Structure 1
């Protein structure tokens, strides 16, 4: 059986060109002083290692788990395209907070000298001993975090809840499956949901021989 591989896209996906409404955010952090005066600890990342949906999900999963283990709140930019696919605010407002572009830029610059960078995409490193040294309350971490030890098995249920696709994506997938009249496994359906969220057309469909 021959296969036709359709053009793959997705890098151009943004909040601005999202075909469904993106949830509005409340309580966005607009100044660094708010963080410094809160008395809380924060893990911050500008999610700059890769902007593909799958890589962003790994980054969020790893960073969220590290933040939870260290008793910190995860800070991420409001500009992240993950907001197309997931509504972190509804169920995770106490553990994930969004920062505006000005705060993102200032934190990135101010924390550059003390940031922790995970240079290997797939290795695991326990960061407990190096986080928040001295009086530091905000820690910047960059990396891919493509190792299940960051979030499995302790955070498996949390990850499933964290990465529940928004209703418009689930509706589009249901309509797609109904229109093509095929039966797919749950795993395949989730793959399609991921592609829809990322505006990705990289599906492999069977082609008749001859």
Structure 2
């Protein structure tokens, strides 16, 4: 429930789903490889849409995509793609659906070689980057780090992971903390 005495980032105000996501997930470091994979896939689906659309369909996505289990998704094929294209509970974009299956295969390779979490967190030296912006205008759409991670992911075989999508993924997964300086959820810097 929203407590009006808590100061939050302006982007989440006015919607209970956004507020819960902001307060409980966004910007918190996520080190679980599978959780990171899910976040990257969902950010790929978000491309060109508002995050609230994805957030409200997240449970449908989890059900339709086998809980984002990369071992299962890597085995899926054209029949699964066609089934998902008919599922009104998810974003029915063939390219994004196909990318999710391709990404599962790429994930399995990275996980076996180095560990997906270790690979991802290596781009920020395994330490969350704290920005403390004053306004939404102070938050970049992408950074040199998100561009480098995007390039590395693409080289590893991932799709729908451009620098802007990757920056949103980094924010969602806590690699970057962009809570406004005035936000109650901004980390304290001493």
Larger radius of gyration: 1
Structure having the higher helix fraction is 2
Q: TM-score, normalised by structure 2?
A: 0.31
Q: TM-score, normalised by structure 1?
A: 0.29
Structure having the higher strand fraction is 1
